[in-house]
Amino acid sequence: MLYNVKAGIIGLDELGRQYANLLKYHVKELNLIGGSGRTQKELLFAKNELSLEYVYPDYHQLIENHDIDAIFVFCPPDQKSFVTSKAIEAGKHVFIDTPIATNVEDAKFLIKTAESHPSQISMAGFPFRLNSSLNRVKEFIELGKIGLIKSITTDSAFTHGISSRYVQPSGSFFIDYSLNEIDLILWLTGENIKWIQTNMVHSDAHVRMLTESGALCDLTVFGHNERQDSSLVIRGTDGIIKLDNYNPFVLDYSSGQDKLSKRIFVADDIEMDNDYLHLKHFVDVIMGRASNTLKLRSNSKALEYAIAMEKSKVLNQAVSFEEKH
């Protein structure tokens, strides 16, 4: 068993820098010792600001470094599946940010590579599954406090308001701005989607999804990445749960005929930093202290639905998954 994870990072643009600082200064039992970048700015950041022992202009050199146990991948989205597969084949644990690919075929290729190396940890993003308030929401649902889910309403600003972060453009604003919210719907309902209908209103997309049990999920995908107030509202047969992104410590909950009441959940700031929790979980899984709850397949499923939103927009009709699932 490892006593200290020696890590390298591929890609040090805005998003890579954000994660590199967390890895370098906040994540225990992890030692960031190497990095690779495509530009002189990235290489200078790795050498001068992070003081990394190994700095390479070619990511292959980082992957082939035998001192490194784990690789964090933050290269452009269209390169992620290939680069991550190479790291897995080189015997590294891998952490890859959302999205894991820009098409379903590349995502499936990466998943096949990861599953053929079961002794290595392959983790992909939806850090909001680790958020304490959202876990309390899921607990309420699983305990039946609001009955069966009838509808979920939110928008692409919800998770961004909880944890603002740079988005690497993929070429599709559905992939760029809706993956976290799609995954929340899948995670909270525990179901697949039967069909998706996208309607455009100016630069925003209004998406309706129907789950396998008949819950209607409405998601507005904004054509920008600006931080703004937003809510997640879950209506059940016996109650309602509402969580605001501007105050994620407070959960509004009502059941039956009760009036709306507030239940406050207190957490330290670092415990509410979803990216930090994501990285900590990765290390905990490598160390054998936790099971991997953020596997590649969940990321691939959300990607498939984001691409279906784009397809529905182009065809101007609903896209059905009944035959696939």
Both tokens assigned to 58: 């070619």
CA angle 205, 210, 215 (to 5 degrees): 115
Please state the pTM of the whole predicted model. 0.90
Q: What share of the chain is helix, strand, coil (3-state, %, to 5)?
A: 40, 25, 35
Domain 5-124: which CATH class?
Answer: alpha beta
Q: Which residues contact 40 (CB under 8 A, 6 or more apart)?
A: none
Name the residue with tokens 């190479």.
86
Can you name the residues that pair with 265 across neighbouring β-strands? none
Per-residue confidence in pLDDT tens, the chain, 325 aa: 567 999 999 999 998 999 999 999 999 999 999 999 999 999 999 999 999 999 999 999 999 999 999 999 999 999 999 999 999 999 999 999 989 999 999 999 999 999 999 999 999 977 788 888 888 899 999 999 899 999 999 999 998 877 666 677 788 889 999 999 999 999 999 999 999 999 999 889 999 999 999 999 999 999 776 778 899 999 999 999 999 888 877 778 887 755 556 665 545 444 557 888 899 999 999 999 999 989 898 889 999 999 999 999 999 999 999 654 4
Sheet with 122-124: strands ordered across: 54-56, 30-36, 5-10, 70-73, 93-96, 122-124
Instruction: Report the interhelical angle of 104-115 vs 296-315 (nearest 10°).
Output: 170
The topology under which CATH files domain 128-267+303-320 is Dihydrodipicolinate Reductase; domain 2 (3.30.360)
Domain range annotation of the chain: 5-124, 128-267+303-320
**Phi and psi at residue 243, in whole multiples of 5°?**
-130, 125
